[in-house]
Structures are given as C-alpha cells and as structure tokens.
Amino acid sequence: MSENEQKKLNPQIMDVEIGIRELRSIKIYPLSMSDQLKLTDLISTALAAQFAKDDGWQELEIVAFIVNLMKENLNRILTMVSDEDGDKLLAEISNLQAAAIAEAVYETNYGIVAKNFKSLFGKLSTLFPSERPLPPSVNDTDTDLMTSTESPTGTEALPSDS
C-alpha cells in the first residue's frame, strides 16, 4: 500500500467478523452527520413514545422495548453503517455479532464525540465563567471608621451612699 493510500485510510472504519456458519469480515463506517442525527431522532422518538404510554417500566418491558426497537430499525442502521444490505445482513449475524456492531457504532459515533465535547466544554468554561462576580465584601471597602468606647454625653460619677 502506497503512502498516499495510507493517508486516506479512515481510522474510524472498523472491521467486524460476522457469519453464522462461516465468518467473513465487513467494514463498519462512521455515520455521516445526517445519518447520525436521523439515528438519534429515531431512538429519541421511540423512547419518548415509550415513556409517554407507560407510568413505570418493568424489566421485561424494557427488554421488549429494546428488542422491538432493534427489530424495526436494525436493518436500516446496518445499511447506514456498512456497504451491505441490512435485510440480508440480518440473516448472517448472531446476537453477539450484532452487539459488537452496535458497540462499534456507538463508540465511533457517540462515545468519542461525547468525550471530545466534554473536553471542549471544559476548555470553554474557562473563557465564559458561569458565576457572577461576588459583590465586594465589607472588609474590601475603604472606610475609615473611628469608633470610640466613650459615651458622647460623658460619664458622671454615681452618688455613693457613704
């Protein structure tokens, strides 16, 4: 491979082994920003619909929700992240391989991005302090107060009973 070809390689492209009877390698590509926004909207919409109809989630309902979400959308997601037909790819992958693909998609498109944004927000917070400056304290003001313990009316001696 020439040096120019090596420079063009995208380090975000991952090879994943798939196959039920025979293993073969497929490439998992990072999502375009457009596809990433579509996928995020798809998941957000499904979650919002689920939260709207249920008061509380039981463990079994969560599993059913995730299975249904994947069943309805996994072929679309596989088509977005590979050169493969998602419907045909579903027939060739095991659950474990699907989990590996899901992890690769998450790390490439969301995990690294979340870490980068967290770092960026940390850097920006030094430029834009979120707290307002505190008002000057009483000790910071330049007022010379001369206090006296003497009474302004003076003190008179009390009559003694002697």
Confidence band, pLDDT 50/70/90 cuts, at residue 28: very high
Q: Where are the domains of the chain?
A: 8-126
Reported as a single tens digit per residue, the pLDDT across 81-94 is 999 999 999 999 99
This prediction has a pTM of 0.57
Around Cβ 109, how many Cβ atoms within 10 Å? 22
Q: In the numeric block, which tokens belong to residue 13?
A: 């492209």
Among the ranges 8-12, 32-36, 44-48, 116-120, which has the highest mean pLDDT value? 32-36
C-alpha–C-alpha distance, residues 111 and 129, integer Å: 27
H or E element, residue 18: strand 14-18
Reported as a single tens digit per residue, the pLDDT across 37-52 is 888 888 888 778 777 7
pLDDT of residue 82: 92
